[in-house]
Structures are given as C-alpha cells and as structure tokens.
Amino acid sequence: MTNTNSGALPRAITARVVDAVLKKGRNLDAAFAEAEVDKLEPRDQAFVRALSYGTLRNHYRNRKLIALLVARPIRNRDSVITALLSVGLFALIESKRPDYAVVSATVGAVTQLERVSMRGLVNAVLRRFLREREGLLAAVSKDKEAGYQHPQWLIEKLQVDWPRDWEDIIAAGNKQAPMWVRINTKQHEPALWLDRLQHTGVAATTPVSTMPGAVLLDAPLMVQELPGFSLGDCSVQDLASQLAAHFLQAGPGMRVLDACAAPGGKATHVLELCPDIKELVAVDKSEQRLSRVQENLERLGFDNKDQVTLIEGDALDPEKWWKESRDKAGFDRILVDAPCSATGVIRRHPDIRFLRRTGDISSLVETQLQMLEKLWPLLKPGGWLLYSTCSVLRAENEAVIAEFLARRSDAYERQLPVKMPEEARGQTEHGLQLLPGQADNDGFYYALLERLPV
C-alpha cells in the first residue's frame, strides 16, 4: 500500500481497525494484522496506530456524540462508518490539525471504504459537530460512560473495590502509557547503560531508587533505537511487571516453573537475575506466543537447552506435561502469571474496555483458582509460588488468594519485599496491589505463597 497525501487512506484503515475491535471483538494487535497495517509506509503505520489508540480511548464519548449528531441510527452493516466518524471526532477534538483538513481527509476515507453514498452523511455530521461543539461536549459529559471513557460495569466494580482510588484508576486508564525499559543488570551497570542511552539524545530516568535497572523513557521510541537491544542489553517491560523476578528470588541450583510464560518478560528476567538456576520450565498454552519466548531467550542469550525447557501445555492440566520422573522433588519456585481481566493495563490496551464483559470475571476467577490448585502439588515443600495478575479487581486478586489459603492448610503467605512507593499501593489484606499510574506503573497484583511441609 502507498501513502496518500490527503490522509484519507490511513483514516480508512484506522476505521477498519476500530470497527474490527468494536464489532468483531478482535484485540488491537489482531485488528492491525487483519488490516495489514504493517504494509503501510512507516510514517503511516505510526499514524494509524496512534489514531486507533486515541479513537478507542475516546470512543465511549464519541459514540454518544454520534448518536446525537445523526438523524437516524447508522445501520449495523455500515458500522465501519460509525468507526470512521469516531476517528474523525477524535481528531477534531484532540489533535492539533486544522479542522478543515480533518473533515476533508475523513470524508475522503468514505470513498476508500467503498461507501461513496455516505460521504454526505459523514461531512454533515462532522460539520454539525464543529458548529455545536461546546453544547454537544457539555451534554455528553453528563453520561457516565462518556465522561469516564470506561464501561458502566467496570466503573461500578472499581467504585466498590477502590472507593478512595477509583477515579485515579480510571484517569490512569485513559492516559497514554509510558515506555519502561529493563536493563540487563547481569551484563551492564545501570548508570553506564543510561549514559549510553542519553548519549543518543534520549531523555530517561530511573525513578525508583530500589530498582536501578528500571528505566522510564521521557517519550516512547522504537526498540531498535535502544542501545544494544538486539544484543540483549535491555528489554521493554513495565515497572510493575519487573517486580516479579525480584519477588521470586530464584537461587543457584533451583528448578523454576513459569506456568503462563509467553512472551517471556518475567521468565527471561528470572534468568538475568540468577543465571545459575538449574532449570527453567516455561509453559504456555499458545504455540504462537511460545515462539516469542524462544525469540526473547535467543536475543538475551539464554537458549541453553539443558537449562531451559519450553512446553506448549495447559497449566490447568499439568499431568499431561509434567514428567514427574524427571525430578520427583518438584519445583523450588513457581510463577503463576495468570490469565486475567487485564483491567490494570487499560492504558496500554485501550481495546480491553470494549472486549471485557462483566460476566468474564467469574470464569476468570474459577480458572485462576483452579490453576493454583493444579500447580500447587508441583511445588516442593519449602518452595515458593508467586501469583500475579495485571488486574485491579479484588475478585481476581486477594479474594483468590484468601480462598486458596482457606482451602490449603499447607499454604502460607510470605511478606513481599515491597520496592514500590507508598502511593502506588492499594490497601489489601493479602498480597500487594499496585494501582495504575501512581508511580507511572501498570496496575498489577502479587501474592507470594510458601508450601509448608505437612
């Protein structure tokens, strides 16, 4: 595909991406792939991505505006035009481009989408918005979903779970996530790597004194621009996620299981912090995602087959892949980075607010508890299991741990060596809840359990 100067083509592609998320329930990565965004010129790729993210962040408001602006509801089979109007409204409200250029490119996109007869509608809606802008924005701001840009069910759950913090959590979800880098501290002195980065003209800091290898960039950049990225000198990983390997404290000679390992952010960090572990078994049920673990292991130089075993398997069915004969004593450390609602990372994945449903939570909780039950017997007495999610919902976090502790008399909760500033932590009875945005981190939950000898 080629670039068009009018900007109509990238807007049409963005509308297809947004429509795929909203109508077909695709996640953003799948929607980008389906719309072949990677075949665009690099400049247009970046534009489509930014516009897709921005539109989805603002679609609850935009769809209310659209409802007020159209005389008759747009037919379901023309949902791509609703998506395009949302793209246009986002640009008119949030971007610095001149209004006439936005309207012209958006109307041009209707032709690209082969809906020529709807050019008049798109033109009229956007122009009416420009004429009545203040009143319309004031009217929709009274609507809860439009005002908070989150679904009603999630707003309500956050209000119940975090009566003091819910508005901050939502505000963090509506922001653009920063880029965090993890320095491979096994190979590099953090200060020296930071110097190298700053010499390339990139501004960055290490804001958490207890984690000198965690670097916050002032502005995101392409990974290839990070010094030594392809040589394994660093990885891209949010601050909250970087805590897992520190909490696990794997030591020389230990056997470690990462039961939901892909794409391998935490597993590779475990190896960086302790390259002398005896074995790392990395399991994931997605073959495609498991290949990303392999790529990351190779990039970071940890592809020793005697030390690392990758298994495509189901953490809910370990009998199928755990060869007890190999080491009857089990694992010294288990990481269960469980599938979850991902409500702590909405700022990174704005599609989540449309893809998750309230009904998903109870089945996720069931899976999370079952995963703990099934993996627990693989842990050696005296061994530690770290449970983590990128959720901010108590049901998936401390309630799961409370229930598991109630069921297992041989499970004991260990204190986590907290490394995060006070303001990033939510009040919990069990484990550590990190709230999103407070220290520029994602929302995450951790609980560390020890298996007692019985």
Ligand X SMILES: C[S@@+](CC[C@H](N)C(=O)[O-])C[C@H]1O[C@@H](n2cnc3c(N)ncnc32)[C@H](O)[C@@H]1O
Residues annotated catalytic, as ranges: 390
Kindly state the tokens that stand for 136: 């319309």
Closest CA to 141 of 84, 52, 53, 58: 58
CA–CA separation, 362 and 360 (whole Å): 6
For residues 190 and 339, which CB has a smaller minimum distance to ligand X in the complex? 339
Closest approach of ligand X to the CB of residue 37, in Å: 22
DSSP 302: -
Measured CA to CA, the distance from residue 385 to residue 42 in angstroms comes to: 43
Residue closer to ligand X (CB basis): 68 or 236? 236
Q: How far is the CB of 285 from ligand X (least distance, A)?
A: 4
Q: How far is the CB of 371 from ligand X (least distance, A)?
A: 7
**Which residues form the interface with ligand X (CB under 6 A)?**
260-266, 283-286, 289, 314-316, 337, 339
Helix/strand/coil for 367:
helix
Q: How far is the CB of 107 from ligand X (least distance, A)?
A: 41
* Residues 209, 223: Cα–Cα separation, whole Å: 24
234: which strand partners?
183
> At its nearest, how many Å lie between ligand X and the CB of residue 295?
12
Per-residue tokens: 38: 């990677």
Percent of residues in the chain assigned helix, strand, coil, to nearest 5:
50, 15, 35
Q: Which is nearer to ligand X, 285 or 414 (CB)?
A: 285
- What are the structure tokens assigned to 232, written together? 């394994």
Among 386, 388, 391, CA closest to 345: 391
Reading the block at residue 423, the tokens are: 């303001």
**Residue found by looking up tokens 């842990």 in the block:** 379
Using the minimum distance from each CB to ligand X, give the nearer residue, 89 or 379: 379
With left for phi above 0 and alpha for psi between -120 and 50, is residue 153 left, alpha or beta? alpha
Query: Are 372 and 416 in contact, with CB atoms under 8 Å apart?
Result: no
- Minimum distance between the CB of residue 271 and ligand X, rounded to whole angstroms? 12
